[in-house]
Every structure is written in C-alpha cells, then in structure tokens.
Amino acid sequence: MSDGESSEKRASDVPPSGSSGSSAEVDFAEPEVVGEAGGSAGAEAASPAGAGPAADDDALAEAKANAARFREQLLRTAADFDNFRKRTRRELEDATRRGKEQALKELLPVFDNVERAMNSAATAPDIKSVTDGLRMVNRQFEGALDKLGIKRIASVGQPFDPSQHEAIQHVDSTEHVAGVIANEVQPGYRMGDYLLRAALVVVSKGPGPSASEAAGEAAAEAPAADAPSGDAEA
C-alpha cells in the first residue's frame, strides 16, 4: 500500500464532525464533569457534619464548667449565711446576758438590804426602826430602777390614760373630779417609750349626791313603795 492510500484510509476512518461517534464522545465527557462537581459538593456537605461533634463537645464542656462554678458559688453563699446566722445568734445571746447582768448588779444590793431588814426586824426594839429600814430599802430600789432607765408611772391625781393605766374600779369621790385617778392599787413602770406594766388604778366618778339629795330621793321613792296596789284594794 502506498503512502497516498494510507493517508486516504486514515482520513476515511476519522468520522465527520456531525456523525454519531462525536456525540458519543460528548455524552461520555459530560458525566465525568458532573461527577466531579457532585464529589466536591458532597465533600462540602460532609465537612460541617464532621465538625458538629467537636462543637457539641465544646459546648458541653463549657456548660459543665459553668455548672461547677455556680455550684461552688452556691456552696460558698450557703456557708457564709450559716456563719452569719450563728454569729447573730451568739451576739443576741451575749447581749441578753449582758442586759441581765447589768440589771442584777443594780438589784442585788437591794435584795441584800431586804434580807438585812428581815433579820433585824426580829430583834428591833420598836416598829419605827423597821419601817425606817424598809423605806430606805424602797428608796434604794427606786434608785436602782432609775439607773436601769425604768420610771414609775404617776397615777394618783392624774387624768386617766388608757395607754398606761388600767382601771379596775370607778368610785364616787369628793376629792377628785370625774376621770381623775383616785387611788393606785398597783404601780406601773415604763422603760423609755416601752410600757413594762400598766398601773392598776381606781378612777373617780366625781362627787356623788349630797346627803340632803339622797334623803329627798329616798323620801320620794318611799310613798311609791308604800302605796297599795289595785289588787290589794279590791
């Protein structure tokens, strides 16, 4: 075969551009391009899925750290509150003890003198000496109360005050007008603005009816009482 025939044969074997062989090559090339594009898209979609567990682990670790920190703060706050409660109770007990101690220091000398007065009363030559000793003890007791800030409430001759007086009786009195305290049954005491005990008092109703008025009223009532009833006359 000559060179010219070989060239013609090779030229005849190449399909023309519009033939079906060319379309087969194009159809074969397109799936390769689409496959490459799909592979890259799958890789991009797989990358977030691969990073998800790591992000969840970080969030969980952070949540656990916050929970541990909050728990520590809660335990510290609870311990501080418990210490505060114990300290407050101890301070209150100390204040109560100091108050009682101060009161007893002022009152113990009074009790000592009361005991001396009772011992000396058995051998006292007269009742006057015993009375004088009791008056001295009473003045000492009032002085001790004054040091503690305790005052006796004035009663007799004062207008009745329900905030510090308690009336147990109302009586006629020519010495006191109505609404004025005529007698004190039990003294009352205050400590500053605080009422320790109200005074038990007898309140005057004012002067009662005179003897002549009482006799006139009795005489006026007597005929009515002595008059016979209609049934008796019948």
Positive or negative: CA dihedral 167, 171, 176, 179: positive
| pLDDT classification of 162: cutoffs 50, 70, 90 | very high
Cα angle at 67 between 66 and 69, to 5 degrees?
65
pLDDT at 116: 87
pTM over 0.75: no
DSSP 34-62: HHHHHHHHHHHHHHHHHHHHHHHHHHHHH
Parallel, antiparallel, or unpaired for β 165-171 and 199-204? parallel
Instruction: Summarize pLDDT for 1-35 with one digit per residue, the tens.
Output: 445 444 444 444 545 544 444 444 444 444 444 44
Which carries the bigger pLDDT value, residue 187 or residue 43?
Answer: 187
Listed residue (200, 191, 193) closest to 103, CA to CA: 191
Domains of the chain: 64-148 (3.90.20.20), 150-221 (2.30.22.10)
> With 70 as the cut, is the pLDDT of residue 159 above it?
yes
| Per-residue pLDDT tens over the stretch 193-224 | 999 999 999 999 988 766 456 556 656 665 55
pLDDT value of position 190: 93
Strand order in the sheet with 199-204: 165-171, 199-204, 181-186
**Helices and strands, number each (H, E), in the chain:** 5, 6
Mean pLDDT rounded to a whole number for the chain: 77
Mean pLDDT value across residues 83-88: 94
pLDDT at 218: 59
User: What average pLDDT does range 152-156 have in this prediction?
Assistant: 93
Report the pLDDT value the prediction gives residue 12, as an integer from 0 to 100. Answer: 47
Token pair 């025939």: residue? 5
d(CA 187, CA 137): 17
